[in-house]
Structure 1
Amino acid sequence: MGWLSRLFGSSNNEKKQEVEPVEYKGYLIYADSIAEGGQFRVAGRITSGEGDALKTHQFIRSDVLGSKESANELMLKKAQMYIDQTGESIFDQ
């Protein structure tokens, strides 16, 4: 029956790792790169506020790097630069 679980994408061995945020100027940055073809795409989200006032901006960049750690480090730098350049307007849609 294990092959059926794998076929439909559910496995007891699969556990989504919880991403630890980095606080920057009142925002929380979650670096969560995406595995893609043996490399990792720079991706993550920026949040502000709590509860009903929680605002989230999620983004995926075109940058692809050889390791998850490198992709997450670059995401953090890009997110900090984005916050510096746009501030609260990050969440305008």
Structure 2
Amino acid sequence: MGLFSRLFGGKSTPEVKEVTPIEYKGYLIYQEALSEGGQYRIAGRITKQLGDEVKTHRFIRSDVLPSQADANELMLRKSQMFIDQMGDSIFS
């Protein structure tokens, strides 16, 4: 039945992958590269507990790389630089 629903436009649920965050200066960085046309787009989330609330900043960049590992590594470096430059104002 799954084959027919894929062939005839049935909705598929996206595969949910468990991502282990990387802690950096009190922030949690989730590397979530997106597969796109045989390459991987840099994407992810930065979260931080502020008081009673967990704040989240999600981003998708225009950069694409040939491997998921490369995309995730660049995402991590860009996230760390973003945190260093902006601090908690990234959640504003």
User: Shorter-normalised TM-score: what interval?
Assistant: 0.7 to 0.9
| Separation of aligned partners in 1, 2:33 and 2:51 | 25
2:85 is matched with 85
Question: Aligned AA for 1:71?
Answer: A
Corresponding pairs, count:
90
- Structure 2 residue matching 1:70: 3-state secondary structure: helix
2:64 is matched with 64
2:38 is matched with 38
- Structure 2 residue matching 1:69: 3-state secondary structure: helix
* Structure that is richer in strand per residue: 2
Runs of 5+ consecutive residues of structure 1 not aligned to the other structure: none
- Structure 2 residue matching 1:49: 3-state secondary structure: strand
Report how far residue 17 of structure 1 moved: 1.2
Backbone CA RMSD of aligned residues:
1.9
Runs of 5+ consecutive residues of structure 2 not aligned to the other structure: none
Moved over 2 A (4+): 4-11
1:22 is matched with 22
Report how far residue 5 of structure 1 moved: 4.0
| Separation of aligned partners in 2, 1:81 and 1:50 | 20
2:12 is matched with 10
Question: Aligned AA for 2:66?
Answer: G
Report how far residue 10 of structure 1 moved: 3.1
| Separation of aligned partners in 1, 2:49 and 2:11 | 33
| Separation of aligned partners in 2, 1:19 and 1:78 | 18
- Structure 2 residue matching 1:54: 3-state secondary structure: strand
Report how far residue 52 of structure 1 moved: 4.9
